[in-house]
Amino acid sequence: MRLASALNRSVFFALLWVTLTGGSADALIYGGLAVAAATLLSLRLYPADQPGIVLWRVAGFLPRFLADAFMGGLDVARRALDPRLPIAPGWVRAQLTNRNEAAGVLLGGVVSILPGSLAAGSGDAAMDVHLLNVTGYSADRMQADERRILGLFDRRIDSQDVANG
C-alpha cells in the first residue's frame, strides 16, 4: 500500500511539475528532485495508511462545488451592492457526524473557500463557522456537504471516527 501511494503521489507531482514548466527539458533535473522531495514530504505529512482522496470522485464533486461557489459569490455581491446591506453576520456551531481529522480539515477548507463562510476550527464532532448571513444557515445542508466530503475518500472512514449521538 505504501509503495502504491508513493507511486501515485510521484506521478501526480511529476505531472504537476511538467504542467508548471511546460515540459521544458532544462527543468527535468530540478523536477526529479522536486518530485522526490514533494513525495517524501507528502508521505511524512499524510502517511499512506490514512484514507486518501479518489480523483474521479473529486470530478463528480466539482460541479456542485463550483455551482455553490458561483451562487455564493452572487449572493455576497448582491448583499454588498444593496444600499440596505442586508447581512446578519454571526457564528454557528455545526454538528458533524464524523471525527476523522482529514475529513474535517477538507470540509473546513471547502466551507472556507465558499463566499460568505469561514470555518474557524473543528473538533469533538463539531465545526465553528462564521457566516455573512446566519439566517440562511441550514444544518441539513451542512450534513449533506459533510457526506459529499466523506464520499471523496478511497475507503470508509473507520467506525471509531463516527461521532456518538
Average pLDDT over residues 60-84: 92
pLDDT band at 165, cuts 50/70/90? very low
Helix axes 139-150, 101-113, angle to 10 degrees: 120
- Tens of pLDDT, residues 113-163: 999 999 997 777 899 999 999 998 999 999 999 999 999 988 766 544 655
CA distance linking residue 103 with residue 53, whole number of Å: 10
137, 31 contact by CB (below 8 A): no
- Tens of pLDDT, residues 19-51: 999 989 999 899 999 999 999 999 998 888 887
Measuring CA to CA, which residue among 150, 104, 142, 147 is closest to residue 123? Answer: 104
pTM, to two decimals: 0.73
Higher pLDDT: 156 or 105? It is 105
Q: Which residue is listed with cell 457566516?
A: 131
Cell of 131: 457566516
